Amino acid sequence: MTTDAPRPETLLITLTGRDRPGVTGAIFAHLAEAGVEVVDLEQIVLRRRLVLGVLVTVPADGAAEVALRDAVTRTGTDLGMHVEIVRGSGDNAAKVHRAHVTVIGAPLQASGMAAVTGRIAEAGANIDRIQRLARYPVTAIELAVSGADPDQLRMLLAHEAAEQGIDIAVQATNLLRHGMRLIVMDVDSTLIQGEVIEMLAAHAGCEAEVAEVTERAMRGEIDFEESLRSRVKLLAGVPASALDEVYAAIQLNPGARTMVRTLRRLGYRFAIVSGGFSQITSRLAADLGIHYARANELEIVDGELTGGILGPVVDRAGKAQALREFAAELGISEAATIAIGDGANDLDMLAAAGLGIAYNAKPVVRSQADTAVNVPYLDTIMYLLGITREEIEAADAEAGIVTPAPPV
């Protein structure tokens, strides 16, 4: 019969005060002289105010402990810092049901954080650590939480997200969050602003009619394939050169290039899957360095659109199937994928992914996705992965890419 090892006696040393060089070094010099072991360590600096917490084993004899206490207290006083030393036993208790809760606001009001933290407490969970991921153009805060089932916590916080006008993502803490992933994106109104088919319809003089059908399809009110074929039929006679004009007019959503560029550096793979047209998506993929692309192909005869589509339509089920095929080709599980979309035809794809993100999406999509992002910055997705704005900008600076200075 085995028994648990005895919990070692420990000292928790906490220093708070104005940050300055050498504080941590000075404290550890005394700890080294006392011959103690470091059990845990955490330090934060907030507007040049330092909080340093060190958990160490108790020195071998009482005299050495007194000497250590005196030395640390004296050093802290000399540095103008408050020192607290508490004796106890053991380390932090093992965490169960751990999750990352990412809160994004533009701006993030104190009332929003009060609502989020209140709900976490009501769920019986504990906030173990808080980190700011970004302060502009959105404020993004990550909370490490334990003690509540992530799925239940996600449902509980979804209401607050809608009530407070903020975005909240809850993800279970596991290795997949740090591993190589495949990111599969919708194109129209996700990767790019607007709808390509509506831009083409402008060349046929039927933009308003097409836009109305597109909106109904994205809300899930009508069958996507049926709506697509009826809309494409209206494009008959449009010169193929209109595709070049449309592509030249396309505007990416803010942060799209930053997200792809940054995550490619980390080994991520990207795919775009669209109910739109390969004549556009293949060029987008080449421009952005996206690894896979799948979309519908417009039929062109004698330099004009015929109003038809070649091959099977990439519909709601087709998008999910594309995600599965790309993941299989890369040798990764569907749980290691992220899907991003805004319309009802993205729902199967979002459900198939390990993390489905509704990006400025229709209500039916927001209600069914794992999480929602409702700010107009696509690179906000990286905060859900625990990547900070400072890390993004540092990587860009190393590559010679200059980013605008943040507001003071």
Q: What percent of the chain has pLDDT over 90?
A: 77
Ranges of beta strands (E only) in 29-152 are: 38-46, 49-57, 82-89, 99-105, 126-134, 139-146
Can 9-89 and 99-175 be said to share one CATH topology? yes
pLDDT for res 39: 92
> Can you tell me the distance from the alpha carbon of 383 to that of 259, in angstroms, rounded to the nearest whole number?
10
pLDDT at residue 90 in the model: 73
In terms of Cα–Cα distance, which of 284, 288, 262, 277 is closest to 392?
262
Q: Is residue 159 very low, low, confident or very high in pLDDT (cuts 50, 70, 90)?
A: confident
3-state secondary structure of 376: coil
Please answer whether residues 96 and 134 qualify as being in contact, where contact means their C-beta atoms are separated by less than 8 angstroms. no
Q: Which amino acid is at 123?
A: A
pLDDT bin (cut points 50, 70, 90) of residue 328 is: very high
Cα gap 116→114, rounded to integer Å: 6
pLDDT per position as a tens digit, 49-61: 999 999 999 998 8
Q: Phi and psi (nearest 5°) for 91?
A: -105, -170
Which tokens go with 216?
A: 């109904």
**Edge-to-edge strands of the sheet including 99-105?**
126-134, 139-146, 99-105, 167-172
pLDDT level of residue 1 (50, 70, 90 thresholds): very low
- Pick the catalytic residue from 188, 315, 342, 348: 188
Residue of 61, 70, 167, 186 marked catalytic: 186
Phi, psi of 354 (to 5 degrees): -65, -35
Note the pLDDT tens digit of each residue in 12-22: 999 999 999 99
Q: How confident is the model at residue 334 (pLDDT cuts 50, 70, 90)?
A: very high
Alpha-carbon span 184 to 353, nearest angstrom = 9
Phi, psi of 248 (to 5 degrees): -65, -25
Q: Does domain 182-376 have CATH number 3.90.580.10?
A: no
3-class SS at 145? strand
Chain mean position to CA 26: 38
Give yes or no: 370 in active site.
Answer: no
Rounded to 5°, the CA angle 239-241-242 comes to: 75
Look up residue 369 and give its two tokens: 């996705």
Instruction: Retrieve residue 66's tokens.
Output: 């007194």
Of the candidates 286, 355, 276, 285, the one whose C-alpha atom is nearest the C-alpha of residue 315 is 276
Rounded distance between C-alpha atoms, residue 225 and residue 315, angstroms? 6
Q: What is the pLDDT of residue 122?
A: 92
Q: Is this model's pTM higher than 0.75 or not?
A: yes
Question: Please, are residues 316 and 347 in contact by the beta-carbon 8 Å criterion?
Answer: yes
Q: Parse the chain into domains and list their residue ranges.
A: 9-89, 99-175, 182-376
3-state SS of 292-355? EEEEEEEEEECCEEEEEEECCCCCHHHHHHHHHHHHHHHCCCHHHEEEEECCHHHHHHHHHCCE
Q: Find the radius of gyration of the CA atoms of the chain.
A: 27
Instruction: Respond yes or no: is residue 346 known to be catalytic.
Output: no
Encoding tokens for residue 296? Answer: 């519908």
Give the Cα separation of 354 and 351 in Å (integer): 8
Q: Residue 205 carries which side chain, given as an amino acid letter?
A: G
CA 166 to chain centre: 14
Query: Which is nearest to 181 in space by CA: 403, 387, 394, 400?
Result: 387
Q: What percent of the chain is predicted at pLDDT more than 70? A: 94
CATH topology assigned to domain 99-175:
Alpha-Beta Plaits (3.30.70)
Task: Look at residue 326 and tell me whether its pLDDT is greater than 60.
Answer: yes
- Give the CATH number of domain 9-89: 3.30.70.260
What is the 8-class DSSP label of residue 187?
Answer: T
Q: Is pLDDT above 50 for 132?
A: yes
